[in-house]
């Protein structure tokens, strides 16, 4: 499979290059040249298959041209050592729990898959130079822990996690500062945007790129966002097994739109989902785009569902590219196609809290603030006959302080999460000046 850039000014890349580089030379996002349809026989058989086997078939469809079958199977099985159940919440609404991975984040799948795929390419290339690949990742919490844990102990790769000092939750901080080995946590005296700016400057600095091989592991990377499609095939299979998949509406709480984008790729591959809802918190640029056809990025505002605090979603360009047939259709036609398939919702912190309380008192189900946006969007938008599945994107214990306060309960912290909290925190303090960060990286042995 070849990958082109959404900006159309970079050379076509193979999978290896797209994964190692992350972003194309023209700063566009890589897109596969083709999306193969899956055979109907496979779709029909999915309810009898387990998550891992469904995922392997889907992975072959994306990556089968570029990765040997056995190796791909190992990568998929090694990535998916956990389940992804659907749980009934009301008569017509089900929760797709995406938080059963190692750091209890749905991002675990993409991060682990990418780490293993990168390792495969490094090994295959002979790694004669023994050159380490350095992954730089800026995080406001969730991405850092998923990436750090996904890459932990993988030879030939070093990860630098940049996070804003004092601005991530204590549980999140433990998940990437206590690991050691090939993971370095960098505590930046600034806000998330400063961390992201440092990473961006590093990718653009010629001298630094000569000194060390750098790549990114956020959802712009095809190896991180595409594997999330596994979740949606599994959701369909489990709902079909329940006899509830005829008019399925999939609702995805969205920030950078990587997760919903993978679902849309699944739809293009033939996954029978009737329509999608993108649920937003108060950061509503995509919602506004659906209403008006105009995309107007803004600075993000802080909300209770902080993993969705994004004012300029990086995967928006992929969605436009997908439904404009790589720029062939006009803006109006593209907007029309998008609104035919995807609707939106946006909720304030007050509405999120109200939804969490109401859902808990009426059903006993504990929503986290992100999942709450998804649940409410289905409650408000499902039509008669439709069944809705929303992604519960985080385990509520990851936001324990908030969830406990809102619901007046004391939720258990899963053992896996508690284990991180017992480790010793190690981090490198850093100013928000690029010169300091660069000097630090230039001093790291390669």
Ligand X SMILES: *Cc1c(COP(=O)(O)O)cnc(C)c1O
Active site residues: 107
Q: Report, in Å, the least distance between residue 370 CB and ligand X.
A: 4
Q: How far is 51 from 32, CA to CA, in rounded Å?
A: 24
- Please, which residues bridge with residue 252 across strands? 278
Among residue numbers 302 through 321, which ones bind ligand X (CB under 6 A)?
Answer: 307-308
Given candidates 6, 259, 300, 379, which one binds ligand X under the rule CB under 6 A? Answer: 259
- Residue whose structure tokens are 């002979």: 126
- Residue whose structure tokens are 């023994």: 130
Q: Report, in Å, the least distance between residue 65 CB and ligand X.
A: 25
Return the range that interacts with ligand X (CB under 6 A); candidates 129-137, 164-172, 249-257, 349-357.
249-257
Alpha-carbon Rg for the chain in angstroms: 21
Question: Exposed/middle/buried for 7, CB within 10 Å: 0-12, 13-18, 19+?
Answer: middle
Residue (208 or 261) nearer to ligand X, CB: 261
Residue (86 or 146) nearer to ligand X, CB: 146
Count of beta carbons in the 10 Å neighbourhood of residue 210: 8
Q: Report, in Å, the least distance between residue 334 CB and ligand X.
A: 20
3-state secondary structure of 420: helix
Structure tokens at 426: 């190690």
144 binds ligand X (CB under 6 A): no
* Strand 133-138 versus strand 428-430 pairing type: unpaired
Residue (184 or 259) nearer to ligand X, CB: 259
Q: Report, in Å, the least distance between residue 115 CB and ligand X.
A: 17
Contact in structure between 24 and 30 (CB atoms under 8 Å): yes
Residue (378 or 441) nearer to ligand X, CB: 378
Contact in structure between 32 and 62 (CB atoms under 8 Å): yes
Residue (107 or 238) nearer to ligand X, CB: 107
Return the range that interacts with ligand X (CB under 6 A); candidates 59-67, 148-156, 254-262, 289-297.
254-262
Listed in sequence order, the residues at least 6 apart from 355 whose beta carbon sits closer than 8 Å to its beta carbon are: 347, 367, 372, 373, 375, 376
Q: Report, in Å, the least distance between residue 258 CB and ligand X.
A: 3
Given candidates 199, 319, 338, 394, which one binds ligand X under the rule CB under 6 A? Answer: 394
Q: Report, in Å, the least distance between residue 195 CB and ligand X.
A: 15
Return the range that interacts with ligand X (CB under 6 A); candidates 40-48, 235-243, 250-258, 344-352.
250-258
Contact in structure between 367 and 375 (CB atoms under 8 Å): yes
| DSSP conformational letter for 260 | H
Among residue numbers 10 through 69, which ones bind ligand X (CB under 6 A)?
Answer: none
Tell me the site size for ligand X, rule CB under 6 A.
16
**Angle formed by the axes of helices 229-241 and 51-63, nearest 10°:** 140
Residue (177 or 218) nearer to ligand X, CB: 218
What burial letters (b/e) apply to 318-353, b meaning 16+ CB within 10 Å? Answer: bbbbbbbeeeeeeeeebbeebeeebbbbbbebebbb
Given candidates 31, 104, 105, 154, which one binds ligand X under the rule CB under 6 A? Answer: 105
Residue (134 or 254) nearer to ligand X, CB: 254
Residue (257 or 323) nearer to ligand X, CB: 257
Given candidates 219, 280, 334, 343, which one binds ligand X under the rule CB under 6 A? Answer: 219
**Residue window 342-381: x/- pattern of binding to ligand X, with contact defined by CB under 6 A:** ----------------------------x-----------
149 binds ligand X (CB under 6 A): no
Half-sphere exposure of 145 (CA within 13 A, CB side): 26
175 binds ligand X (CB under 6 A): no
255 binds ligand X (CB under 6 A): yes
What are the backbone dihedrals phi and psi of residue 286, each rounded to the nearest 5 degrees, phi first?
A: -70, -40
395 binds ligand X (CB under 6 A): no
Q: Report, in Å, the least distance between residue 100 CB and ligand X.
A: 13
Contact in structure between 36 and 61 (CB atoms under 8 Å): yes
Q: Report, in Å, the least distance between residue 232 CB and ligand X.
A: 13
Half-sphere exposure of 271 (CA within 13 A, CB side): 32
142 binds ligand X (CB under 6 A): yes
Strands laid side by side in the 13-14 sheet: 13-14, 2-5, 30-32
Helices assigned H by DSSP within 46-141:
51-63, 69-79, 107-124
253 binds ligand X (CB under 6 A): yes
| DSSP conformational letter for 36 | P
> Which residues contribute to the site for ligand X (CB under 6 A)?
105, 107, 142, 219, 253-259, 307-308, 370, 393-394
């Amino acid at each position: 499979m070849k990958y082109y850039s959404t900006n159309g000014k970079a050379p076509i890349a193979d999978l290896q290059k797209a994964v190692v580089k992350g972003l194309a030379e023209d700063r566009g996002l890589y897109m596969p040249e083709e999306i193969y349809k899956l055979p109907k026989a496979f779709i029909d058989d999915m309810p009898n298959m387990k998550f891992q086997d469904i995922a392997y078939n889907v992975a072959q469809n994306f990556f089968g041209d570029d990765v040997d079958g056995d190796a791909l199977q190992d990568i998929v099985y090694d990535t998916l050592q956990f389940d992804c159940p659907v749980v009934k919440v009301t008569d017509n609404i089900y929760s797709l729990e995406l938080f059963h991975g190692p750091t209890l984040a749905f991002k675990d799948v993409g991060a682990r898959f990418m780490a293993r795929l990168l390792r495969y390419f490094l090994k295959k290339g002979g790694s004669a130079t023994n050159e380490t690949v350095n992954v730089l990742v800026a995080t406001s919490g969730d991405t850092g822990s998923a990436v750090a844990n996904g890459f932990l102990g993988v030879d030939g790769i070093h990860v630098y996690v940049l996070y804003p000092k004092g601005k991530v939750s204590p549980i999140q901080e433990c998940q990437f500062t206590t690991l050691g080995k090939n993971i370095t946590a960098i505590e930046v005296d600034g806000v998330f945007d400063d961390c992201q700016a440092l990473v961006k400057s590093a990718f653009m600095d010629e001298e630094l790129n000569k000194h060390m091989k750098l790549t990114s592991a956020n959802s712009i990377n095809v190896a991180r966002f595409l594997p999330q499609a596994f979740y949606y095939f599994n959701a369909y299979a489990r709902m079909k097994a329940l006899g509830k998949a005829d008019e399925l509406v999939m609702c995805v709480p969205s920030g950078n739109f990587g997760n919903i984008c993978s679902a849309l790729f699944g739809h293009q591959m033939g996954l029978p989902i009737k329509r999608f809802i993108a649920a937003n918190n108060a950061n509503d640029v995509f919602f506004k785009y659906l209403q008006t056809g105009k995309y107007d990025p803004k600075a993000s505002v802080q909300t209770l569902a902080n993993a969705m605090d994004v004012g300029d979603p990086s995967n928006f360009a992929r969605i436009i590219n997908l439904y404009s047939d790589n720029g062939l259709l006009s803006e109006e036609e593209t907007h029309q196609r998008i609104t035919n398939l995807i609707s939106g919702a946006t909720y304030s912190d007050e509405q999120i809290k109200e939804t969490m309380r109401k859902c808990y008192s009426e059903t006993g189900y504990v929503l986290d603030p992100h999942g709450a946006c998804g649940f409410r969007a289905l409650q408000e938008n499902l039509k008669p006959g439709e069944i809705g599945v929303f992604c519960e994107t985080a385990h509520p214990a990851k936001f324990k302080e908030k969830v406990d306060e809102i619901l007046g309960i004391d939720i258990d912290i899963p053992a896996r999460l508690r284990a991180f909290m017992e480790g010793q925190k190690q981090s490198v303090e850093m100013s928000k000046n690029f010169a300091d960060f660069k000097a630090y990286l230039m001093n790291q042995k390669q």
